Structure 1
């Protein structure tokens, strides 16, 4: 928890002083293992990678929103609630009339209001409204937008984090406010003229964006990797998102390094790579650096919001599966998390052992501890995506729904050490065993695939039976359309699991044992036989 608490003291803008301070803390914590030598080799290799920033680096310092008339009142301060200040706001010190524009993200919303020389209060997010408001002559924007999943009715003082694009010409500012403050200001503007004061102290700078790479080198297949990554950047406090992920990743490495140092566990065959990154951009930059060796990355585990206390936030630990046919054809029992849904081209699906292998480890931990877990189909939105786009199996560990997500209430009080421990233990076990690369691990993965495929077949049979029954009395064209649809889904899952079985042969470091090869081939043949029989039974 000390690491989470430390990270939340900073607004972690990539390339900015807060982000760099947190990265330095992690690097310093790992230095003892970097100087440890085992069998004539360093236990840990540390490297700070630097990439040029593709944009100006925003450095927030202070901000105050006040009401100056009809009475003087401090409404929000950066010191108390940092996310009241929109990212990329320029410095300003101004007093001006406030005007409420309902909505604010559509040009028609401004047709009945004279906003020139005024500050616009609107319901839309600042990113969606500031350009329109400024184009009509407004001085800036105050947004009261809070997504429904943040449950603003239950939390009237919550403020949603947001940002606006860097704009060196307009030099805009935007402020976020709570529902309670919004209600007061809206009422005030109905009764009389309201003057607000906005004081913003920020700056912009240039510099490199850093990624910390820490590696436990493999002893027999050092060029092959298992990657574990967490993004370090985010708003302040950002306790669950993603101080919890960055801190859990650090603890995973500490635990593994300590156990190896004490001789409790052997050095891995493959290299274990740990990455603290700028979300998306840092991961993509790392992959670009290693573009010639990406085919040697066996799997990636991404930690993003793994510490939320379910009793406080309403969130639950989740495994977001890598894209499988459930992503393309969403049917029970598959489901989304409530966060959103991405789009994945069905032609780019590729099967892997990773989903069922990792889910089996999480399920085992859950059964032994009472840990409440869930899973969802791929939705995207974190650092697993860049790996997946390159054809590398990757899964996301996270929490959702979480009312504090991307808000002022994402604080240290909502973090559960036990949730972090459960997530960290599961991820460490899954990644380390893959790095060991033994036949036993491969057979464990094979068993998890067998179990999952059997369950999936039961589900497909049930759903296909229901779909065909619904069109039994329909015309031939309708029946044929349903049969075609069901055939496509069945064949997609069969292909995905066929590829998943084949991928098990990548788990052993070096050439897979012949006995394992035979068993995988046998499973694949059995699955094809089952597929043929099932299609015949349904007349597909």
Structure 2
């Protein structure tokens, strides 16, 4: 039998679903006891593995790593006795991540501050009060707690609302959404997530009379660190290792996000251990973003490519999801996303190959300073994302089987070579995308970059499988200048995140994320192009074309580059 046949025969998708049921019982906060328990459960399943420990409450490259946080207990009740948030030991998603501890049971007056994100929302004092607010919790915290001395935040904030799939507060009135304060907070206040029905009930009461709550919150530093689980399969050799990764954090239940990715990865590792593998594969389970950047800075691995597995178990009928294969950015051409899309193509599930977007750990790997082509697998949108309803019954063993087969097929291709027919399909996709992007743009700079990107992706494919069809597609792509070499212009590795930001900068960045959905993609890619020795205005033009950024976002990106240069994070 071939390697591919051996892998697919051994794979059991039900294992991933059953393991997901276990992890969904754990509250997996960074530094929390539940995260450690999740690692222990994974180690029991995958066998040989190691755990690395990294500090919290510090900076790591471009990131401000939050303090370790372990939820112990808490509740929220009206002073009349009515329950608003049940015992957090039973329903921990009701506690906002990174909340500090209360001073015993605190009786607090509720003040409705609207969104709670603007100065105009604070016409009355909130010092020593609980604020009722609809905006993003990190921004509410900065405005209400850090700046004005509020003690408590109460919110029903639902991220990523999407009426197409019934993901609105009005259609999910009893759902409780997951929220976190910003990574910079030190525990001066605390907060609760409530259902939309409870939130409207409080708003109605506060509009008529003085309302007080009894609030109790207990949290500590838990383990005091970040923990990253690592497993190695196969034999190190001449070829660089392949990285598979899945973040393990998020609140209970967090079934599809991301117990599903973590448990599918565990089953894949079990399968890979059953065959002689002539290439090393590294598997990583970590706190999202923070664990990945810490591990990369510590290990400095020399990787060929990476597959990020994040939210893959969704039952598409229940969640409204489509599996997105997220490609590498224009600054880092590769064939791996096209290969994965070919291996996943079926009439039984919804699938799309998308351009590069932020959102998970693949963004760190695709950064120009790390330079590891990384695709991401994510079912999106998801009606139950980041909520109390993200439970294992929203997952499907058929989805685990489909995605698992796609990853194993792709690994077999990367280890043993891509079959000629499949290589032809991948090459055709790369060329078709290049032609489509070229037709969309008249600017010679952009068209030239698209041509260079297309040829570079085909060349990386040829390095894996040199077939007549691939050579023909390369010839049809024409001769172009090679991709420029990396020129380090940033004194860190990975994306430039909050490390340089003052409170005013954070507020400015919050507004840009609110106003421009492309902002995170745009600002990171501009810096990537600059580190490929592209002139600043040309870098802006290329990133603008890649993400269809509006003029106002491009103007903000220019200011962003000025700020980075002034603070020493972008070298002239």
TM-score by length of 1: 0.77
Q: CA deviation at 1:519?
A: 6.8
Q: Which runs of 5+ in 1 are unaligned?
A: 35-45, 261-266, 325-348, 465-481, 509-515, 532-540
Q: Answer yes or no: is 1:154 the counterpart of 2:171.
A: yes
360, 381, 388: which one aligns with 2:359: 381
Q: Which residue of 1 aligns with 2:428?
A: 451
Q: Which residue of 1 aligns with 2:156?
A: 144
Distance in 2 (alpha carbons) for counterparts of 1:227 and 1:388: 13
Q: CA deviation at 1:94?
A: 0.9
Q: Which residue of 2 aligns with 1:52?
A: 55
Distance in 2 (alpha carbons) for counterparts of 1:211 and 1:169: 23
Q: Which residue of 2 aligns with 1:371?
A: 349
CA deviation profile, 1:93-124 (whole Å, cap 9, x unmatched)? 2112212121211111112x233332111121
The 8 Å contact of residues 353 and 445 in structure 1, kept in 2 or not, is answered as no
Distance in 2 (alpha carbons) for counterparts of 1:217 and 1:168: 42
Q: Aligned pair count?
A: 446
Q: Which runs of 5+ in 2 are unaligned?
A: 1-16, 59-65, 482-572
Distance in 2 (alpha carbons) for counterparts of 1:495 and 1:308: 37
Q: Answer yes or no: is 1:66 the counterpart of 2:89.
A: no
Q: Which residue of 2 aligns with 1:215?
A: 232
Q: CA deviation at 1:7?
A: 0.8
CA deviation profile, 1:128-179 (whole Å, cap 9, x unmatched)? 1123223334332212222323421110012221112467876211111111
Distance in 2 (alpha carbons) for counterparts of 1:413 and 1:289: 38
Higher strand share: 1
TM-score by length of 2: 0.73
481, 495, 499: which one aligns with 2:456: 499
CA deviation profile, 1:185-213 (whole Å, cap 9, x unmatched)? 11111222211111112112453422221
198, 201, 221: which one aligns with 1:204: 221
Q: Answer yes or no: is 1:268 the counterpart of 2:285.
A: no
The 8 Å contact of residues 300 and 384 in structure 1, kept in 2 or not, is answered as yes
The 8 Å contact of residues 229 and 301 in structure 1, kept in 2 or not, is answered as yes
Q: Which residue of 2 aligns with 1:332?
A: none
Q: Answer yes or no: is 1:83 the counterpart of 2:108.
A: no
Q: CA deviation at 1:286?
A: 2.5
The 8 Å contact of residues 301 and 431 in structure 1, kept in 2 or not, is answered as no
Residue pairs, 1:390-539, within 5 angstroms: 390-436=370-416, 438=417, 441=418, 443=420, 446-456=423-433, 459=436, 463=439, 483=442, 485=443, 487-507=444-464, 516=466, 523-528=473-478
Q: CA deviation at 1:301?
A: 0.6
The 8 Å contact of residues 338 and 430 in structure 2, kept in 1 or not, is answered as no
Q: Which protein has the larger Cα radius of gyration, Structure 1 or Structure 2? A: 1
Aligned-partner SS, 2:83? strand
Aligned-partner SS, 1:224? coil
Aligned-partner SS, 1:191? coil
Q: CA deviation at 1:28?
A: 1.6
The 8 Å contact of residues 319 and 374 in structure 1, kept in 2 or not, is answered as yes
Q: Which residue of 2 aligns with 1:330?
A: none
Aligned-partner SS, 2:400? helix
The RMSD of aligned alpha carbons is: 2.5
Distance in 2 (alpha carbons) for counterparts of 1:393 and 1:442: 21
The 8 Å contact of residues 125 and 144 in structure 1, kept in 2 or not, is answered as no
